[in-house]
Amino acid sequence: MEIAGHSLHRLRERLVEGIDGPLFALALALTAIGMAALYSASYENAARLAAQLGNLAVALVAMWLVAQIPPQTLLRLAVPAYVVALALLLGVALAGEVVNGARRWLNLGIGRFQPSEIMKIAMPLMLAWYFHCREGSIRLRDFALAAVLLAVPVLLVARQPDLGTALLIACAGFSVIFFAGLSWRVLAGLGVLVLAALAPLWGMLHDYQRRRILTLLDPTTDPLGSGYHIIQSTIAVGSGGFTGKGWLNGSQTHLEFIPERATDFIFAVFSEEFGLIGNVVLLTLYALLIARGLSIAAQAPTMFTRLLAGAVTLIFFTYAFVNMGMVAGILPVVGLPLPFISYGGSALATLYIGIGILMSIYRHRNLVQT
Amino acid sequence: MRFAELKNYQSELRAFQLRLGLAGFMVLAAFGLLLARFIWLQVVQHDAYRAKADENRIAVVPVAPSRGLILDRNGEVLARNTLAYTLEIFPAQVKDLEATIAALAEYVDIQPRDRARFRKLLQETRNAESLPIRTRLSDEEVARIAVNRWRFTGVDIRARLFRQYPHGDVASHALGYIGRVTTRDQERLEELGDAANYRGTDYIGKAGIEASYQQELHGITGFERVEIDAAGRGVRTLSGTASQPGNNIGLTLDIRLQEVAEAAFGERRGALVAIEPASGGVLAFVSKPGYDPNLFVDGIDPLSWEALNNSADLPLTNRAIAGVYPPGSTFKPFMALAALELGKRTPRSTIHDPGYFVFGDRRFRDSKPGGHGAVDLYKSIVMSSDTYYYMLANDLGIDAIAGFMKRFGFGARTGIDLEGEATGILPSPEWKMARFKRPEQQRWYAGETISIGIGQGYNAYTPAQLAQAMATLANNGAMFKPRLVSNVDNTRTGERRTLEPELVRQVTLKAEHIEFIKRAMIGVTKEGTGARAFAGAQYTSGGKTGTAQVIAMKQNEKYDESKVAERLRDHSLYIAFAPAEGPKIALAVLVENGGFGARAAAPIARTVLDYFLLGKLPAAAKRPVPEIEVDSDAESD
């Protein structure tokens, strides 16, 4: 009996080992909120909830597995991951399935998946590895090359077209470059360049993407078309008021006024039902999660782990900020889900893998790498 | 690690942590921005958004009113509403229209005509939520669809009120028809500020009384407050205001008289307007050919529309008010009256009619070769002498003629309560000046006055104007505005609003002059050009025949080669009033290309008067009127 008890104890320890308490708690809390919102948004469809629980199970397993991988191994995996992801993106560009007017999916015998999801992790890995190798002697041209390494996948993804994911990958990559020590002068210069490039960039955008940005400025110009999302979601958010209409009581939601209410626009459901108070709680949870991530980054032992942790944390931030900004009508509509809340298996898995990476980094914080 | 390296490492770490801190700060700032936005939406603007959410939730759904009926003077129903089931498709909810229609065709009979009509509706009406593919489903068809309804999305059966015209094409131009509201109708309604009352109304009057009394007939739309979802589907009804049905319109027409008049035309084209002189009430209003307004009710299919629109007979043209024709010799009584009033002639003024009149180097010929010999004013009307009136026109001069005729309403709209009335042409130097561009065309030549006297030249009037002039004369100069509608009944309160006769003007005429002209016109029916047609009449009527040279109509006209000869023939006209003492009816009838006035038009007038005064219906077998030249009024050069 003792041995069995001891084994169980050992099993429990082994499971818990490497799992950072605060991170895990925050992630789970957010996920739980997401379940409640999803239940409402899916009109109390238990099947949806069950599916998301299944997604969660997969994500948790992925998280645990990644948390067990020491950063040194991650370092070794960086380049292969990037190359594979890039190859898959090229594969999509050449032979991908078109769904809803966008070519984002690859169909391998086992199922469909989006290579751009893999790139979300592979990009910061790759760039972090890159700068880590040049630690101590990073020069301007290294940054330039990093920019190229970043630009190619971003453009491939933007071409699909998937503006939201492209933006995310760009932010992830850029934050690595930033944290790696890109000189302030170059940053300023880049800023100027970006402003100058806005015009030609505008020209490159698809019609519907342009319209999205224009309707942001005045959604009422196209109330039944591209402005519809924004108008409906801001009505939902605004009508929630201070305390919200109560769980399962959102009229905008339940009368089918909010499109994509279980995925990209689930924040509208949440705001309508839980009001300003709910939003403050949500913001706080995200802020705490990001704070934890940044603190892990601050304590990370190597350049690789520092950069990686910083980038992953900012990925969480980008997701949250862009999605909530879009639903509240201050950012153009791009298809980014709300992290841990929106329905979707691959997004959830990617997020929990990110959490796992942070956990792994934190666990190995006392190791010094030469 | 060497010390220097360690120091480097330290500073790098510091730099990194600085940037981390910066990133953290940016995150806080961004979240702060979000928080500010949330506060803005959820606290500051909360009320506004809550109202908007409510607005989203509750839609105001219009309830269409039921259209008023149209009745004749004896209460006979001319236009009514019947309930029928329609099979309707919601285009917004259907992915593949063709497939859905094909699938529906397995349960319900769908003709190519129905498909064509549906497609036309799809193009024309953009606001409609659902459009009918089949109307007037039989009970069996309704059952079949109801049972199989689950197979389809975006398809439904609706019970709708349909306009029905029990008398078919009789009085079609007076009644008009209704059709679907088009974008153009919509714009007009918005200009009138009445658009709100037409939400939910699919049909609007397009012609005839249906159009000119649209507002009275339509009623007031009711509204229901319904909770809806974003697709506009009603979830439940919250409250509402009932609609108010349209008013019933009573016409002055007698449908039996109308039927008699239309039958008398047979297959011939033309028009007849009969007016009650003392009130202006229109007793009969004929324009042939007519059309069946029932065709339009469902939305006319393109084939039928093509047939109607492109027919050389122009069935959609309301000849009674929109067709302009030279009056021919029917103009002569008015010319004679002008002569008397202006002192240019007396009843005893006699001329010798050799069969022509010379003016300048031109010879205007009388239609009777050799002329009528000695002609006084009385005989000039009874025998219809052209020479007399060539001379008279020359003596009066165009200004005097135009001035006099204007008072009888020639060259002006009668003001009848229908849309689309033509003004006609009362020739005068002023008119010519305005009409033509080149100076040589703008001048009035004295020679042009000559043919005016016999109702040719530029003279062009509508049958309605002629009838009105005849009624005015019969009424001793009192001109009442012709109207089709006698009363408007409020279906809710039962209140009846009777339209009063409207005196347009009193033409001052000497009693003895009027008496003289009337006597002469009675003479026409007893011993003159109309004698044959009115032989054996059991009442005394006055009239005048007319034969008008053909002038091309202003509308698009297509000539069929084989019909060219027919369409070049003269028009046959007749004006009449009866009984001679205290006239109760005054009419003008025109038969296009009918030849001599006595041949075609006068017998129709006889038939109409027989029925109106005696209730006598025409004999089943009609004997053709023999072609004997009783008079010929045609001018020939």
User: Is some CB atom of chain B closer than 8 A to the CB atom of A252?
Assistant: yes
Closest CA to B274 of B530, B604, B615, B497: B604
User: Is some CB atom of chain B closer than 8 A to the CB atom of A287?
Assistant: yes
**Which pLDDT score is estimated for B624?**
47
Residues 6+ apart with CB under 8 A from A182: A143
Share of chain B above pLDDT 90, in %: 51
Bridge-partner residues for B505, per DSSP? B479
How big is chain B, counted in residues? 637
* B344: number of Cβ within 10 Å: 15
User: Is some CB atom of chain B closer than 8 A to the CB atom of A255?
Assistant: yes
Residue of B26, B34, B227 to mutate for A, most A C-beta atoms under 10 A: B34
SS (H, E, C) B468-537: HHHHHHHCCCEEECCECEEEEECCCCCCEEECCCCEEEECCCCHHHHHHHHHHHHHHHHHCCCCCCCCCC
Task: Indicate the helix (H) or strand (E) that contains B219.
Answer: none
**Which pLDDT score is estimated for B160?**
82
Asked if pLDDT for residue B33 goes beyond 70, the answer is yes
User: Is some CB atom of chain B closer than 8 A to the CB atom of A288?
Assistant: no
**Which pLDDT score is estimated for A241?**
83
Are B52 and A240 in contact (CB < 8 Å)? no
ipTM: 0.89
Closest CA to B259 of B174, B151, B331, B185: B174
- Tokens (6 digits) for A220: 């009422």
Whole-number Å distance between alpha carbons of B475 and B257: 22
User: Is some CB atom of chain B closer than 8 A to the CB atom of A72?
Assistant: no
**Measured on CA atoms in the order B595, B597, B599, B601, is the torsion positive or negative?**
positive
User: Is some CB atom of chain A closer than 8 A to the CB atom of B28?
Assistant: yes
**Which pLDDT score is estimated for B182?**
77
| DSSP string for A253-320 | HHTT-STTTTTTTHHHHHHHHHHHHHHHHHHHHHHHHHHHHHHHHHT-SSHHHHHHHHHHHHHHHHHH
Residue of B12, B13, B38, B45 to mutate for A, most A C-beta atoms under 10 A: B38
User: By CB neighbour count within 10 A (0-12 exposed, 13-18 middle, 19+ buried), where does A176 fall?
Assistant: buried
Whole-number Å distance between alpha carbons of B409 and B462: 11
Name every chain A residue with its beta carbon within 8 A of the beta carbon of B227: 255
In Å, how far is A3's CA from the nearest CA of chain B? Answer: 47
**Which pLDDT score is estimated for B417?**
93
Higher pLDDT, B117 or A299: A299
Q: Of A260-264, B7-11, B101-105, which has the strongest mean pLDDT? A: B101-105
Are A257 and B39 in contact (CB < 8 Å)? no
**Measured on CA atoms in the order A138, A139, A143, A145, is the torsion positive or negative?**
negative
Are A241 and B12 in contact (CB < 8 Å)? no
Residue type, B370: G
Asked if pLDDT for residue B58 goes beyond 70, the answer is no
Are B229 and A325 in contact (CB < 8 Å)? no
- Residue B28: closest CA among chain A residues belongs to which residue? A287
Asked if pLDDT for residue B504 goes beyond 60, the answer is yes
Whole-number Å distance between alpha carbons of B217 and B197: 13
User: Is some CB atom of chain A closer than 8 A to the CB atom of B436?
Assistant: no
Are A294 and B23 in contact (CB < 8 Å)? yes
Instruction: Give the C-alpha distances (Å, rounded to integers) separating A81 from A72, B286, B346.
Output: 14, 90, 120
**Which pLDDT score is estimated for B631?**
42
In Å, how far is A252's CA from the nearest CA of chain B? Answer: 7
In the stretch 105-164 of chain A, residues with CB closer than 8 A to chain B read 136
User: Is some CB atom of chain B closer than 8 A to the CB atom of A237?
Assistant: yes
Instruction: Give the C-alpha distances (Å, rounded to integers) separating A213 from A258, A367, B386.
Output: 19, 47, 83
Share of chain B above pLDDT 70, in %: 89
Closest CA to A318 of A275, A369, A365, A354: A354
Asked if pLDDT for residue B60 goes beyond 80, the answer is no
Compute and round to an integer the Cα radius of gyration of chain A: 21
* B135: number of Cβ within 10 Å: 18
Phi and psi angles of residue B580, each rounded to the nearest 5 degrees, phi first: -60, -40
In Å, how far is B120's CA from the nearest CA of chain A? Answer: 25
Residue of B2, B49, B93 to mutate for A, most A C-beta atoms under 10 A: B49
User: Is some CB atom of chain B closer than 8 A to the CB atom of A199?
Assistant: no
Name every chain B residue with its beta carbon within 8 A of the beta carbon of A330: 33-34, 37
Name every chain B residue with its beta carbon within 8 A of the beta carbon of A227: none
**Which pLDDT score is estimated for B59?**
64
Active site residues of B: 329
**Which pLDDT score is estimated for B24?**
93
User: Is some CB atom of chain A closer than 8 A to the CB atom of B50?
Assistant: yes
Residues 6+ apart with CB under 8 A from B330: B455, B466, B544, B545, B546, B573, B574, B575, B588, B597
What is the value of pTM for the model shown? 0.60
- Tokens (6 digits) for B612: 């109106």
Asked if pLDDT for residue B425 goes beyond 60, the answer is yes
Are B31 and A287 in contact (CB < 8 Å)? yes
Ordered mean pLDDT values, 10 residues apiece, chain A (370 residues):
72 78 89 87 77 90 91 90 90 72 61 79 92 84 89 88 87 92 85 83 71 66 61 83 80 64 83 91 95 92 92 95 90 86 87 93 74
User: Is some CB atom of chain B closer than 8 A to the CB atom of A241?
Assistant: yes
Confidence of residue B559 (pLDDT cuts 50, 70, 90): very low
Whole-number Å distance between alpha carbons of B464 and B268: 18
Higher pLDDT, B560 or B444: B444
**Which pLDDT score is estimated for B36?**
94
Asked if pLDDT for residue B227 goes beyond 80, the answer is no
A212-232 pLDDT per residue, tens: 667 666 666 655 555 667 777
- Tokens (6 digits) for A364: 């190995």
Confidence of residue B634 (pLDDT cuts 50, 70, 90): very low
B352-406 pLDDT per residue, tens: 888 888 888 888 888 787 888 889 999 999 999 999 999 999 999 999 999 999 9
Whole-number Å distance between alpha carbons of B513 and B346: 9
Are B229 and A242 in contact (CB < 8 Å)? no
Confidence of residue B234 (pLDDT cuts 50, 70, 90): low
Q: How many CB pairs under 8 A join A and B?
A: 120
Asked if pLDDT for residue B3 goes beyond 70, the answer is no
**Which pLDDT score is estimated for B630?**
40
Whole-number Å distance between alpha carbons of B422 and B463: 10
In Å, how far is A179's CA from the nearest CA of chain B? Answer: 6
